Amino acid sequence: MIIGLVLIILSWCVQVYYSGVKKIFALSLKFVVIYVVGCILLVIDASQRGQALLLILNLVAAVIALLAGFFAKKARG
């Protein structure tokens, strides 16, 4: 669980870097990939602990991140 949360925080740091430092306000593909991996690790953890609600919520977060990354990639070209 800790690794998943750390990856999600790291993904936000990447996105803040691209937005704040590089002034690229599009959704970073690195952000999406790291975020989804973090969510999947949280899904696995919830599954192992038998926490169905957390499993579903983290799975939904992963799917939404994938969709956002897909649409952001289409918008970039």
Q: What is the pLDDT of residues 27-73, one digit of tens each?
A: 899 999 999 999 999 999 999 999 999 999 999 999 999 999 998 87
CA angle, residues 5, 8, 13, in degrees to nearest 5: 125
Helical spans, DSSP H, in 1-77: 2-16, 29-49, 52-76
Task: Look at residue 44 in the predicted model and tell me its pLDDT.
Answer: 97
The CA–CA distances, whole Å, from 27 to 23, 24, 32, 44, 52 equal 11, 8, 8, 26, 30
Task: Look at residue 49 in the predicted model and tell me its pLDDT.
Answer: 97
For residues 32 and 69, the answer to whether their CB atoms sit within 8 Å is: yes
Q: What is the pLDDT of residues 7-27, one digit of tens each?
A: 999 999 999 999 999 998 888
